[in-house]
Amino acid sequence: MNDNIEDEAEVLKNLSNFSAGFMETQVLYATAKLGIAEYLSDGPKSTERLANILKADSAALYRLLRAAESMGLFAEPRPGIFALTSLGEYLKKNAPGGIYNQILMNAELFYDLWGELIHTIKTGRSADQKVYGMTFFEYIQQHPEKAELFNEEMTNFISTMAPAVVANYDFSYFRQIVDIGGGHGTLMEAILRANLRASGIIFDLPVTVEGAMNRFRKIGLHNRCKFVGGDFFESLPAGDCMILSAIISDWNDEQSVCILSNCRRVIEPAGRLLLLERLVIPEEPAPPTAFLDLAMLLTGGGTGRSEEEYRKLLADSGFELIRVMPTGTQRRIFEAKPI
């Protein structure tokens, strides 16, 4: 009987924590956005001192700091004096792992979309039209500061994956490599540095490829790469290797077939299409990335897919799936050839 009471208490505690998760999300966001970790990096400070720096209300700030302290972000060695913890160190803008940017992006871009989860579940439609009055990607195009957040996060994500992709796949056979939705060119940089005879094309939204061009000038690779702005639902530049990294999972099947069919129209006959995507294995228990599937659904109607689902999607677009290669990261390489 006592065991049951303890079990019930644990269940209720867990559910309560799940229910209040949004509070921690907002405390984390406010703490990061205000830059409190930066101001504490040179030593502990009083609430009043921090309030003066931030031009904030001291009493309200104290409550925020106490909540953040309960999360392990700060310590309070003396009443009203706050110091940075090892966990809080990661809230600095330039801390390893890029979590600062991810915190801001989740709160400023995705938080409102998750508030419309029931709408999406009932209708099967993404929440972006309801929240923004336009698609998610149209929205970030019209808000450069949001686009910068998104592109920075994608750069951080790709930078963790790029070395594994280059180590596990042989790009030496290709001469013209097209990275579709290539962002600021993190993956393309890794490929070109490892394959000195290849040249590249980074294709993305005009505002994004401008950033890629500036970055490639700084790193000295601009002479080996072209930068093309456009819409992959309309047309694409040609190449003998075409890469879509975490792109197809953003879109539903109809939209994905449109993108892949445009790839099929311009790819060289002996070329290869590479999708860098998560592999969903329905037979296995749901992993934490199941939340990512919901996020894809909310933002644009996309989803993770199984091997058979990718095989069919590619076949409907004029490609044959050849193999699925692990990379040691969350993404696998789906290699396909034109039929």
Q: Average pLDDT per run of 10 along the chain, which is 339 residues long?
A: 71 91 95 97 97 97 98 96 97 88 92 95 93 90 86 84 94 96 93 96 90 94 95 95 94 95 97 95 84 89 92 98 94 96
**CA dihedral for 212, 214, 215, 217, sign (positive or negative):** positive
Q: Write the single-letter amino acid at 42.
A: D
Q: Which domains does the chain have, with CATH numbers?
A: 2-92 (1.10.10.10), 126-338 (3.40.50.150)
Count CA within 13 A, CB hemisphere, residue 10: 6
Please report the pLDDT score of residue 292 as a whole number.
86
305: three-class secondary structure by DSSP: strand
- End-to-end C-alpha distance for the chain, whole angstroms: 65
SS3 content of the chain, % helix, strand, coil (to 5): 55, 20, 25
135: three-class secondary structure by DSSP: coil
How far apart, in whole angstroms, are the C-alpha atoms of residue 99 and residue 84?
16
How far apart, in whole angstroms, are the C-alpha atoms of residue 337 and residue 267?
9
Please report the pLDDT score of residue 1 as a whole number.
46
Please report the pLDDT score of residue 53 as a whole number.
97
Please report the pLDDT score of residue 79 as a whole number.
95
How far apart, in whole angstroms, are the C-alpha atoms of residue 162 and residue 174?
17
Per the structure block, which two tokens stand in for 267?
A: 């790819």
Beta strands in the chain (DSSP E): 45-46, 74-78, 81-84, 176-180, 199-204, 225-229, 239-245, 267-277, 319-326, 332-338
CB 277 within 8 A of CB 250: no
Pick left, alpha or beta for residue 81 (phi over 0 → left; psi -120 to 50 → alpha; otherwise beta): beta
